[in-house]
């Protein structure tokens, strides 16, 4: 993946819904347009992040699996609060 993240969240070994909750906290600290990479091992995170992006101002320019590890790249969208 060629996306260069501005921050990385290691959410491996966290059960659902913690990867998504931690990602929301991390996104709140980023500026609009910055990219957060999330690394998770929870299989349910694939569906959780898809639903979250569909209902938010954020974008997910890429996601992939590497073995049993899921990688998500989230770009902070307009209209979201920043810290």
Quick check: is 37 catalytic? Answer: no
Cα dihedral 2→66→29→16 (10° resolution)? 160
Check: CB of residue 63 under 8 Å from CB of residue 34: no
63's enclosing H/E stretch is strand 59-66
Q: Parallel, antiparallel, or unpaired for β 69-75 and 59-66?
A: antiparallel
Catalytic residue of the set 14, 16, 39, 62: 16
Catalytic residues: 16
């Amino acid at each position: 993946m060629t996306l260069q993240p501005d921050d990385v969240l290691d959410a491996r070994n966290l059960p659902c819904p913690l990867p998504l909750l931690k990602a929301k906290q991390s996104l709140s600290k980023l500026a609009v347009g910055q990219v957060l990479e999330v690394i998770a091992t929870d299989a349910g995170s694939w569906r959780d992040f898809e639903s979250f992006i569909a209902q938010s101002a954020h974008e997910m320019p890429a996601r992939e699996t590497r073995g049993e590890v899921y990688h998500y790249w989230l770009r902070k969208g307009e209209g979201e609060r920043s810290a």
